[in-house]
Structure 1
Amino acid sequence: MTGRHQLERLEREARHLAPGASQEAAAGQRVFAEGDGPVLTDLDGNQYLDFAAGTLTQSLGHGHPEVVEALIAQARRLWNVHDSATPDRAALLELLARLLPGHLDTYALFSTGAEVIEAALRVVLAGAEPGRNRIGAMRGGFHGKTMGARMLVHWDVGHQAFAGNSVLGYSPYCYRCPLELTRPTCQLRCASLVRRHIAGKPNVSALVFEPVLGAGGVIVPPPGYWEQIADACRANGVLLVADEVLTGGGRTGTFLACEQFGVEPDLVALAKGLASGFPFAVLAGRADVMRHPAASEPGAHASTFAGNPLGIAAARATLGVIERDRLLERVRALGERLGDRLSALAARFDHLGDVRGVGLLYGLEFVTDRQSRSPAPDIARAVYTTALDLGLRVALGGHILRIAPPFTLDEALLDEGLGLLERALERVLL
């Protein structure tokens, strides 16, 4: 339960803070004061295992000492000189080149996921051939809250429709197939429609996609889905723009989720896990796309806080630890353990309709019953708040809980957290 000190602080800030917080913050009503590795401490001294890793940002946990030291050292030297070169920028770019697939060798630095998506759209539109004035995207996708990102997925504002110039394809949401088909007899009809209406159209310049839908519910594609779409886009000159803001940096067990699904993107957006929660984002791309004259005019990739020395320091430290400590191997090993335990929970609780994921990214979908599969957001919220009271923090969104612990977690703490989740499920559902 939320303690006295937290309630007092929440009441104070509510007098001035605009509404519109995330569902998890609104439901949780916690004031987190400290973070150390996988553990958060609130203002009343209660501790929580953080299986949401901040907002899927804390790949190394909270307050990793090497990241802290890098930020402190940089803060003593220099904070912002716009986009001028600084001593460590070249080293960060070289580190990115080692971690990313070889064909993605050119980078622009930004601050947030939405900002880097907007930059990707500018690159695509600047270099598009005459007549290629449409962009493909996926139903259920999420690319940020800026106007261009919202227009991609037809996310209206108030009573105003902002469909823009995008055309939407079907995501591979097998549990709730929008075409009312089932695998394997569906023969991936969703993919064939994307190929026809996006990849096969001469007026489409690019397809912007999440290899694994994140905010849309951790939708993991079935084998063959992305492969056939990517092949069709490549054959028809449609650029592949992978939004790996959430998955990039190793969350799925490879540095890019695309590496697991047979996709070689032309552009990739990266942000959340790159700099241990410090605002930092990267647009990575093929040299011929990023260096196109129309896409690289003076100021094209400049932004007030983009690529600032503090962000570079945090990213270099974070990615350096991931590389040196071979944490992608750890993500794969922990991910198998996590998947097995969550699947066992699904077999036990009827209201847990579907469990899906890859690496250290899983989604738990709650339903009123398994026959109707009607979404049950009230159950998800109850499980979320009960888990929080027991000392486990996960991510809440509608009728889905996301599980995404830090890469540095050990097996004992993983098991402890999953034990707390099981207790929360028992309290709510039994």
Structure 2
Amino acid sequence: MTGPRQLDLLARETAHLAPGASEESALGRRVFTEGRGAVLTDLDGNQYIDLAAGTLTQSLGHCHPEVVAALTEQAARLWNVHDFSTAGRAELCDLLARLLPEQLDTYGFFSTGAEVVEAALRAVQAVAEPGRNRIGALRHGFHGKTQGARMLVHWDIGNQAHAGNSILGYSPYCYRCPLDLEHPSCGVRCATLVRKHIAEKPNVSALVFEPVLGAAGVIVPPPGYWEQIGDACRDNGVLLVADEVLTGGGRTGTFLAGEQFGLEPDLVALSKGMASGFPFAVLAGRSDVLRHPDAARAGSTASTYANNPLGIAAARATLEVVARDTLIDNVRSLGELLGERLAELHARFDVLGDVRGLGLLHGLEFVRSRETREPAPDIARAVYLTALDLGLRTSIGGHIIRLAPPFTIDRALLDEGVTLLGRAVERVTEATR
């Protein structure tokens, strides 16, 4: 339970803090004061295994000593000189060139996921041929809260519509197939329709997509989905813009999630785990796109906090550790353990309608019954809160709980975290019988 010191501080905040916090924060009502590795400590001294890794950001866990040292050293030297070159930027470029697919050899640096998505949209609009004035995206996708990012997925607020020039295609949500089909007998019909309505349309300039849809609940595509769409886009001159803000940097077991589906994107947006949760983002792209005269006009990759040396230092330190310690291999190994343990929970509890994931990114979908598949957000909330009280932090959104442990978590602690999650599900299901 939330202790007295935390309750006092939260009450003081309420008088001034604007509402609209994340669901997990509003429900959890915790005040965290320290993080070390995969463990968090709150203001009252309680500890939690953090299987959400910050905001699915802490690839190396909290306060990794090499990232702390890099930030501390840089903070004592220089913070912001707009987008002038600084000592570490060339080295970061060289490092990215080693980690990313060969065709992604040109980079722009930004501060947030939404900002880098907007930069990708500007690049697409700059290089689009006359007549290619539409952009494709996927239902259930999430690309940020700025207007351009909202426009992609037709996310309206209040009475303001922001559909813009975006065309929506079917995402590969097999558990809740909008076409009422079953895989594999469906022949991946959702991909066929994306190809028909987006990839093969002469007025579409790009398809902006998450290879694995994160905010929607870790929707992992079935075999053949991206292969079919990717080939069609390439054959028809439609740029592939991969939003790997969440998945990029090794989260799914390859540096880019798209590598597992044979995707060769023209542009990739990366952020979250690239700098251990420090504000930092990268737009990686093909040279012929990002160096195109219309995409490379003065100021096109500049903003107040873009290219700041603190973010570059955090990113360099993070990615150097990921590469040196072969942590992506660790992600695959730990991901197998996580998948096995979650499969056990799925077999035990009928309220778990579906469990899915890739590497160290998994989603648990809570339902009232497996027959109706009716979403059960109240059960998910109860499990989330019970897990917190047991000393486990996860990430909740609606009827789905996501897990994204640090790449550095040890097997025993990961196993303990899943055990606590199982105990939370058990307590909630027993209480609702």
- Could you tell me which runs of 5 or more consecutive residues in structure 2 were left unpaired when the two chains were aligned: none
Task: For 2:278 and 2:403, locate their aligned partners in 1 and report how far apart those are by CA, in whole Å.
Answer: 21
TM-fit CA distance, 1:184: 1.3
Give the alignment of 1:87-166 within 5 angstroms: 87-166=87-166
TM-fit CA distance, 1:139: 0.2
Aligned to 2:402, the other structure's residue is in SS state strand
Task: For 1:219 and 1:88, locate their aligned partners in 2 and report how far apart those are by CA, in whole Å.
Answer: 36
Give the alignment of 1:18-417 within 5 angstroms: 18-417=18-417
TM-score, structure 1 as length reference: 1.00
Which residue does the alignment assign to 1:3? 3
Aligned to 1:354, the other structure's residue is in SS state strand
Aligned to 2:7, the other structure's residue is in SS state helix
- 1:419 to 2:419 alignment: yes
Task: For 1:344 and 1:419, locate their aligned partners in 2 and report how far apart those are by CA, in whole Å.
Answer: 10
Task: For 2:411 and 2:88, locate their aligned partners in 1 and report how far apart those are by CA, in whole Å.
Answer: 35
Aligned to 1:294, the other structure's residue is in SS state coil
TM-fit CA distance, 1:159: 1.0
Aligned to 1:344, the other structure's residue is in SS state helix
Q: 1:184 corresponds to which letter in structure 2?
A: P
CA distances 1:329-362 after superposition (whole Å, capped 9, x unpaired):
0000000000010011001000100000000000
Task: For 1:10 and 1:297, locate their aligned partners in 2 and report how far apart those are by CA, in whole Å.
Answer: 47
TM-score, structure 2 as length reference: 0.99
Aligned to 2:354, the other structure's residue is in SS state strand
Task: For 1:25 and 1:98, locate their aligned partners in 2 and report how far apart those are by CA, in whole Å.
Answer: 37
TM-fit CA distance, 1:213: 0.2
Aligned to 1:273, the other structure's residue is in SS state helix
TM-fit CA distance, 1:165: 0.2
Task: For 1:269 and 1:368, locate their aligned partners in 2 and report how far apart those are by CA, in whole Å.
Answer: 36
Task: For 1:224 and 1:329, locate their aligned partners in 2 and report how far apart those are by CA, in whole Å.
Answer: 25
TM-fit CA distance, 1:49: 0.4
Q: 2:215 corresponds to which letter in structure 1?
A: A
TM-fit CA distance, 1:160: 1.2
Aligned to 1:269, the other structure's residue is in SS state strand
Task: For 1:330 and 1:119, locate their aligned partners in 2 and report how far apart those are by CA, in whole Å.
Answer: 32
CA distances 1:392-426 after superposition (whole Å, capped 9, x unpaired):
00000000000100000111001110111111011
Aligned to 2:162, the other structure's residue is in SS state coil
Q: Percent identity?
A: 76
Aligned to 2:167, the other structure's residue is in SS state strand
Task: For 2:378 and 2:307, locate their aligned partners in 1 and report how far apart those are by CA, in whole Å.
Answer: 41
TM-fit CA distance, 1:110: 0.1
- The alignment's C-alpha RMSD in Å is 0.4
TM-fit CA distance, 1:48: 0.2
Aligned to 1:274, the other structure's residue is in SS state helix
Q: 1:387 corresponds to which letter in structure 2?
A: A
Task: For 1:160 and 1:276, locate their aligned partners in 2 and report how far apart those are by CA, in whole Å.
Answer: 35
**Structure 1 segments of 4+ aligned residues over 2 angstroms from their partners:** none
TM-fit CA distance, 1:375: 0.2
